[in-house]
Amino acid sequence: MAKTKIGILGAGYAGLLALKVLQSKAKDVEITLIDRNSYHNEATDYHEVAAGSVNADKITYQISDVVKPGITNFIQATVTKIDKEAKTVEIEGHEPMTFDYLIVALGFRSETFGIKGATEFALPMDDVESSEAVYKHFIAKLEDYRTSKNPDNLKVLIAGAGFTGMELIGAMAENKAKYAKIAGVTPDDIELTCIDAAPSLLPMFPSDLADYAVKRLAKRGAKVFTSRGINEVKDGVVVAKNMETNEIIEFSAGTIIWTTGVSGSDVIANSGIEARRNRVMVTSQLKDPENDKVYIIGDVAAVMDAESGRPYPTTAQIALVMGHVAAMNIIADMNGQEGEDFKYVSQGTVCSLGNTDAIGVLGNGTKVKGYVASALKKIIMNKSLWETGGVKEMLAKGRFDLYH
């Protein structure tokens, strides 16, 4: 009997969790996993690479480590287009892949919302390479300061004070002494600023925790401004409007980093799949509404949370659960059984403010901050490594020094 062909596009949180379940539970299947990289990366840690707190190696591991030969064939290549009707996937430099079931888990990319100059003059932080590029750019500016004495070389402007922007400025604030040494200045000379159009920060946290975050960052000399809507980015300048006073303000900085938000993979639009910002509104079983053999999960999916009446946010925690549900539903379908609905019960959300500081809310609503919250963040990071890569990757790449 011919084996059932299952394609998995993307070896991020969602794709690898689905792979792990299918490899251990599905019978008579032939899996093809495709990712543009040879490695899986922990996208939740990009800010640490961009800030120079860790090397890229710390947040990546080889996909081949988790692929079971004989069941799964891993192809390192870029997916360009999905044809749901023909059941094929176009891949750069390879013959098209055919499938009986498909899991689309291609993740996110930085979104500029069409703001003039953002693509040209701001640095994205949406994969390992771009995160490394942010750090290299800033270091080059600091080194150049030694001779040029250009004050803008010491300034970083982070556009967008959401989860990503706040985690990034927290990590950078912690490294000010290191940056200062490279430029030959004092830590106080390094200027870190984060701006956002929203009137308040981190809406997923109670306001007292968001206030704590801003105060802790200010103590380390990092400034966060709300109600600053970005109109345009120029070479070394961000032009913003103070939404309260309508005053136009220019922030000059040698390093401008773009963290205003994300969209799903462009492969969704290129494949003509109906979506909003490349996020497909999937069924409660995570299927494409037009093709019940195609599952769309992680940051390329939008699924309604019946309780809030809004789609779930895009997070790694949710992507992992989606990976599990999609794989179990394929196995159920192959066995002629009814699949399960996606449900997510939050275990908690933690936003880091550097290596030893954070804010968080546990699943039961308990608020945490400081060392306790940062230790919790590291436990969550270790758990996700264990879930996708197993004990080996968790031991190799995990964070076990919880208080430093």
- The upper half-sphere exposure of residue 102, i.e. CA atoms within 13 Å in the direction of its Cβ, equals 25
Give the shortest CB-185-to-ligand FAD separation in angstroms: 27
Residues in Cβ contact with 120 at an 8 Å cutoff, skipping those fewer than 6 apart = 233, 235
Locus of tokens 């037009």 = 290
Q: Are 259 and 166 in contact (CB under 8 A)?
A: no
Give the shortest CB-172-to-ligand FAD separation in angstroms: 12
d(CA 305, CA 342): 9
Give the shortest CB-184-to-ligand FAD separation in angstroms: 30
- Reading the block at residue 89, the tokens are 């996937």
The yes-or-no answer on residue 167 being catalytic is: yes
Give the shortest CB-136-to-ligand FAD separation in angstroms: 17
Q: Which residue is nearest to ligand FAD (CB)?
A: 12
d(CA 260, CA 311): 19
Q: Is 341 helix (H, G, I), strand (E, B) or coil?
A: coil
Locus of tokens 């659960």 = 321
CA gyration radius, the chain:
22
Alpha-helical (H) ranges within 154-285 are 163-174, 176-183, 207-219, 266-270
Applying CB under 6 A, the residues found at the interface with ligand FAD are 10-15, 34-37, 43-44, 46-47, 78-79, 105-108, 163-164, 167, 265, 267, 298-299, 314-317, 319
Closest CB to ligand FAD among residues 128, 185? 128
Closest CB to ligand FAD among residues 15, 236? 15
Closest CB to ligand FAD among residues 187, 261? 261
What is the residue type of 138? Answer: F
Closest CB to ligand FAD among residues 78, 291? 78
Closest CB to ligand FAD among residues 260, 285? 260
What's the 3-state SS for 279-328? Answer: EEECCCCCEECCEEEEEECHHHEECEECCCCEECCCCHHHHHHHHHHHHH
Give the shortest CB-49-to-ligand FAD separation in angstroms: 9
What is the residue type of 113? Answer: F
Give the shortest CB-113-to-ligand FAD separation in angstroms: 16
DSSP label at residue 391: H
Closest CB to ligand FAD among residues 153, 374? 374
Give the shortest CB-150-to-ligand FAD separation in angstroms: 28
Closest CB to ligand FAD among residues 108, 179? 108
Instruction: Count each helix (H run) and each strand (E run) in the chain, helices first.
Output: 10, 28
42, 48, 111, 167: which is the annotated catalytic residue?
Answer: 167
- Measure the CA angle with vertex 238, ends 233 and 242; round to 5°: 120
Q: Are 9 and 107 in contact (CB under 8 A)?
A: no
SS3 content of the chain, % helix, strand, coil (to 5): 35, 30, 35
DSSP label at residue 2: P
d(CA 223, CA 221): 7
Closest CB to ligand FAD among residues 43, 282? 43
Phi, psi of 108, deg, nearest 5: -115, 165
Q: Cα 89 vs. chain centroid, distance in angstroms?
A: 24
Give the shortest CB-193-to-ligand FAD separation in angstroms: 18
Active-site residue set: 167
